[in-house]
């Protein structure tokens, strides 16, 4: 599944191409995604793309009269292409621009989402599109200033849940998906099974720093391409070559040579070093 780095890589690639463009319509070849694609996207009032933003794992094309919210699901990608580029299998939606270019949404598994939110009067410092229910229970952005060890320590007091599933849940921190949670916990030296409420302030400072560092490195590397992910220009990511624990069952730890272990937490696999990561 594309996680925060992959979505941010897509945002950074799309933004210079579509910001300022006039969106004139869409070609909808398959509307049956996780939520039905709104038919009105095919013939909207032409409007300018003001900016391309990200919240968690959602991309947002903020426009003159509203915002298009996109979630890539498990296998979705967005590609910036000329209008003449032939559509292929699983190319479900094309967003058309007045200059003859398009953004093509491809999704073999069809678990993604395209939603439209009309522009509303701003009633707070938050953008109008954040009133949509999909953003209602999202935690803090790990790459923004509000995320640090002191905050992490404060909000986890008394929590008995293991830290790894808590990172994935998204109600405290958004976008730290499975790959990056495993890598961050390894970098911070924290056992993924450790109860969140038992982790002290010093270790939370390490964890907050590790989450930020891992995500920034992954973005710089273009994300992780494990199966389907490519960026908006068609290039895959390379961060999978830097994974230190994720997917390395039985291989020697890069620090101590202890074999990496794999376990199940909830319905997700977790990889960790039993020597370097302490409870």
Closest CA to 239 of 2, 68, 31, 32: 2
Tens-place pLDDT, residues 101-152:
999 999 999 999 999 999 987 767 788 999 899 998 899 999 988 899 999 9
56 near 4, Cβ under 8 Å? Answer: yes
How far is 163 from 206, CA to CA, in rounded Å?
14
Per-residue pLDDT, 195 = 97
Is the model's pLDDT at 12 over the cut of 60?
yes
Alpha-carbon distances of 201 from 121, 147, 154, 157, 161, rounded to whole Å: 41, 14, 9, 10, 17
Q: Where are the domains of the chain?
A: 4-135, 149-272
Q: Could you give the CA distance from residue 262 to residue 235 in angstroms, rounded to a whole number?
A: 30
State the first-to-last Cα distance of the chain, in angstroms, to the nearest integer.
28
User: Looking at 113-204, which runs of residues are DSSP E strands?
Assistant: 113-118
User: What is the per-residue pLDDT for 227?
Assistant: 45
Q: Strand locations in 101-180, DSSP E?
A: 101-106, 113-118
What's residue 243's pLDDT?
Answer: 86
pTM, entire model: 0.86
Look at 145 and 192; give whichever has higher pLDDT: 192
Question: Using CA atoms, how far apart are residues 179 and 240, in angstroms rounded to an integer?
Answer: 9
Tell me, what's the pLDDT at 238?
A: 45
HSE of 201 in the Cβ direction (CA atoms, 13 Å)?
3
Computed over every residue of the chain, the mean pLDDT equals 90
pLDDT at 235: 54
For residue 239, the model assigns a pLDDT of 53
Question: What confidence score (pLDDT) does residue 208 get?
Answer: 96
pLDDT digits (tens, 9 = 90+) for 212-239: 999 998 888 876 544 444 445 555 544 5
Widest distance between CA atoms in the chain: 60
Whether 192 is catalytic is no
Please determine, for residue 5, whether its predicted confidence score (pLDDT) is greater than 90.
no
Given the residues 3, 6, 8, 183, the one annotated as active site: 3
Q: Check 11, 54, 57, 104 and give the catalytic one.
A: 57
Q: Average pLDDT for residues 22-45, to the nearest whole number?
A: 95
- Looking at domain 4-135, which of 3.90.1300.10, 3.20.190.10, 3.40.50.2020, 3.30.530.20 is its CATH number? 3.20.190.10
**Active-site residue flag, 57:** yes
Contacts of residue 199, Cβ cutoff 8 Å, sequence gap at least 6: 153, 156, 163, 190, 207
> Is 268 a residue of the active site?
yes
- Residue from 2, 44, 127, 192 carrying the catalytic annotation: 2
- Per-residue pLDDT, 225: 45
CA atoms within 13 A of residue 90's CA, in its CB half-sphere: 14
What per-residue confidence (pLDDT) applies to 159? 95
Whether pLDDT at 26 is above 70: yes
Comparing 54-58, 153-157, 174-178, 260-264, the range with the smallest average pLDDT is 174-178
Q: Out of 48, 53, 119, 268, which one is annotated catalytic?
A: 268
Residue range 149-272, CATH number: 1.10.8.50
Query: What is the rounded CA–CA span in Å between residue 104 and residue 157?
Result: 45
pLDDT single digits (tens) 34-86? 999 999 999 999 999 999 999 999 999 999 999 999 999 988 999 999 999 99
Which pLDDT score, from 0 to 100, does residue 163 have? 97
């Amino acid at each position: 599944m594309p996680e925060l780095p992959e979505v941010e890589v897509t945002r950074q690639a799309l933004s210079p191409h579509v910001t300022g463009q006039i969106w004139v319509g869409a070609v909808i070849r398959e509307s049956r995604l996780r939520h039905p694609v709104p038919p009105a996207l095919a013939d909207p009032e032409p409007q300018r793309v003001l900016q391309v933003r990200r919240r968690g794992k959602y991309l947002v094309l903020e426009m003159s009269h509203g915002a298009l919210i996109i979630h890539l699901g498990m296998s979705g990608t967005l590609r910036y292409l000329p209008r003449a580029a032939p559509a292929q299998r699983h190319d479900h939606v094309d967003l058309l621009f007045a200059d003859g270019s398009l953004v093509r949404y491809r999704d073999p598994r069809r678990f993604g989402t395209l939603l439209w939110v009309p522009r509303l009067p701003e009633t707070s410092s938050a953008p109008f599109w954040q009133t949509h229910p999909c953003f209602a229970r999202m935690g803090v952005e790990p790459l923004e200033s509000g995320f640090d060890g002191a905050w992490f320590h404060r909000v986890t007091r008394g929590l008995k849940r293991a830290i790894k599933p808590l990172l994935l849940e998204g109600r405290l921190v958004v976008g730290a998906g499975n790959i990056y949670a495993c890598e961050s916990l390894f970098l911070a030296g924290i056992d993924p099974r450790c109860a969140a409420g038992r982790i002290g302030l010093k270790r939370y400072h390490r964890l907050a720093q590790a989450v930020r560092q891992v995500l920034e490195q992954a973005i710089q590397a273009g994300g992780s391409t494990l199966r389907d992910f490519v960026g908006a220009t068609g290039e895959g990511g390379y961060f999978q070559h830097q994974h230190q624990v994720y997917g390395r069952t039985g291989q020697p730890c890069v620090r101590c040579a202890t074999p990496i272990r794999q376990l199940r937490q909830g319905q997700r696999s977790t990889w960790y070093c039993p020597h370097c990561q302490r409870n």
